[in-house]
Amino acid sequence: MIGASEARAAAERELGGALATVDSRLTAVSGGAAGEPVLVHDLSLQPSYWLVPLMGADRVVGFVRVLPTGRVAAVGSFCRNPARVEECPPVVTGITVQEAAHRAADRVDVNAGEAAYPPVFVHDGPPGREAWLVRVRGKGPLERWIFVSPGVTYERTAGKTRDLDLE
């Protein structure tokens, strides 16, 4: 697994290309700079890949997904309208770790003896399906997972994978 500096360098190499010619929505990205990479874990909390923010005007205008080998797997834009960069998210994870913890706290019953671990940024399924994972334990062993993303918060029994038939 490469380190954060190598992931950032891979993103910067990708920025050196003509991204805007590949997809016009990447216009806002083409002038951006690579920010601080975020390590994305799998559901067993093992490092999986890096998500490198592409910054423009103190906002995250896009991202580069960098695999453990340093190969770039994806480049994307968060800006629906490149002329309105102020509407892009402030962090590549969509919401901060603090906001994820706060949103998950509403689902933790401390009166019943539940406790939450700090959020970890994960992919829930294939790369790209990213969310903050808050593991919740009761009086016994680990009981459930709460996933928090910018648009939705959901939960399921710890260790259970997504049911693809429901999607």
Answer whether 0.85 is exceeded by the pTM.
Answer: yes
Domain span holding position 136: 97-166
Same domain flag for 102 and 137: yes
Domain-located, residue 92: no
Backbone φ, ψ for residue 20 (5° rounding): -65, -25
Position with higher pLDDT, 95 vs 31: 95
Same domain flag for 120 and 47: no
What end-to-end distance do the CA atoms of the chain give, in Å? 31
Structure tokens at 104: 């998950």
Same domain flag for 114 and 73: no
Q: Please state whether beta strands 115-116 and 33-34 pair in parallel, antiparallel, or not at all (unpaired).
A: unpaired
pLDDT, tens digit, 9 for 90 and up, residues 27-84 = 555 566 899 999 999 999 999 999 999 988 788 988 999 999 999 999 988 877 777 8
pLDDT value of position 142: 65
pLDDT, tens digit, 9 for 90 and up, residues 117-160 = 999 999 999 999 999 999 999 877 668 999 999 999 999 999 88
Q: How many domains does the chain have?
A: 2
Structure tokens at 83: 């002329």
52 has which bridge partners?
A: 64
Choosing from 87, 118, 137, the residue where a domain stops is 87
Same domain flag for 103 and 150: yes
